[in-house]
Amino acid sequence: MGFLRDKHLLGLAETPKEDIELILQHASSFREVLDRPIKKVPTLQGKTVVNLFFEDSTRTRISFELAQKRLSADTVNFSAGRSSLKKGESFKDTARNIEAMKIDCIVMRHPVPGAHVHLINYVNSVVVNAGDGTHEHPTQGLLDMMSLLEVKGNLEGLKVALVGDIKHSRVARSNIHGLLTMGAEVMLCGPPNLMPVNIENLGVSMSYDIDEVLAWSDAVNVLRIQRERQGVSYIPSVREYRDLFGITHERVERLKEPITIMHPGPINRGVEIDSDVADSENAIILNQVLNGVAVRMAVLYLLLGDQPKAS
């Protein structure tokens, strides 16, 4: 058994504060490993992790794979397009077949919300959610918190804004749950038709005035914008979005206090964020990427590592 309350990491909605703290502590230790000339520890030697990706991903899959390799785990990648999964072999059979080959952990990305809740009914392996549709992306939430912690020193009372398409964002949901658990304040900003209904019930505040939101915040996490999703147009034009919600050079310049700029990637430069804002000294976007490896190492270690024997 691992060190966390739950056997799996499915989301941050149910993850208790102690577990988030434990993950972040270990992540910062593993972060140091990544600065060594030899970036590898034997921690998960003999453990096998399968990265089961039912949706295209480059950075998250590479980040998980690197985390596994740095921990000396054996890793296997399985990528399947959405369509092949939907028709052919059932989801249940795919998972069971892979598990039958004696593995310890499944890291899964899936386009359908809640797919991981189904997966744990079919397999005994430890399951880590690498993104399930528009539900959660817990390791992203954790790496965002780790990156904030690095520059701010504390999450308690920190004012964090999430800007963009909240409705379709698993990153937003994991950030909301994690940050609120850790005592931060969260404000959402974006077009009203991209706000999920009753989102205030999760404990966040909301505004449609980006300048007011930026003036309020200590840090802003800028979400990727897509004009159209599944044939429905949500944003009339890039120009208009940038005018109303873009994190532009002029907006950031006007702020009295500098704020930390984050983005989970991939960035649409000139759309949701201006190039020079993304590259500015207050932007920690590349730290987020590096911390992603460390956080995933911590999660895998805490879920798969052996408990020291009680004396």
Residues in the interface with another protein (CB under 8 A) total: 28
Question: Which residue in 3, 33, 133, 150 binds another protein (CB under 8 A)?
Answer: 133
> What are the Cα distances from residue 29, in Å, to 4, 75, 109?
17, 22, 26
Verify binding: residue 90, another protein, rule CB under 8 A: yes
Per CB under 8 A, the list member of 22, 34, 113, 265 interacting with another protein is 113
Buried (b) or exposed (e) across 137-162, using 16+ Cβ within 10 A?
Answer: bbbbbbbbbbbbbbebeebeebbbbb
Q: Which is nearer to another protein, 76 or 112 (CB)?
A: 112
If binding is defined by CB under 8 A, does position 201 make contact with another protein? yes
**Binding segment (CB under 8 A) for another protein, from list 132-140, 205-213, 291-299, 303-311:** 132-140
Give me the amino acid identity at 192.
P
- Whichever of 178 and 246 has its CB closer to another protein, that residue is 178
Phi, psi of 189 (to 5 degrees): -145, 135
Residue from 22, 114, 207, 251 that binds another protein (CB under 8 A)?
114
Please compute, for residue 290, the number of CA atoms within 13 A of its CA located in the half-sphere on the CB side: 14
Q: Which residues, listed in sequence order, are joined to residue 269 by a DSSP beta bridge?
A: 273
Binding to another protein by residue 305, rule CB under 8 A? no
By beta-carbon proximity to another protein, the closer residue of 196 and 265 is 196
Q: What is the torsional sign of CA 250, 251, 252, 257?
A: positive
* Distance in Å, CB of 90 to another protein, minimum: 6
Segment near another protein (CB under 8 A); pick from 59-67, 107-115, 156-164, 183-191: 107-115
From CA 72, how far away is CA 126, in angstroms rounded?
A: 17
Interface map 11-50 toward another protein (x if CB under 8 A) = --x-------------------------------------
Using the rule CB under 8 A, which residue among 19, 104, 136, 272 binds another protein? 136
What are the distances in angstroms from CA 269 to CA 110, 117, 221, 223, 302?
Answer: 27, 35, 15, 12, 36
- In 3D space, the residue among 190, 167, 186 whose CA is nearest the CA of residue 175 turns out to be 186
Distances (CA, A) of 9 to 4, 147, 207, 281: 9, 20, 31, 33
Task: For the CB of residue 234, give the shortest distance to another protein in the complex, in Å.
Answer: 11
Q: Contacts with another protein in 237-296 (CB under 8 A)?
A: none
State which residue, 115 or 143, has the beta carbon closest to another protein. Answer: 115
Q: Mark residues 156-195: x for contact with another protein by CB under 8 A, - for none.
A: --------------x--x----------------------
Which residues are at the interface with another protein (CB under 8 A)?
A: 13, 86, 90-92, 110-115, 117-118, 132-136, 170, 173, 196-199, 201-202, 230, 232
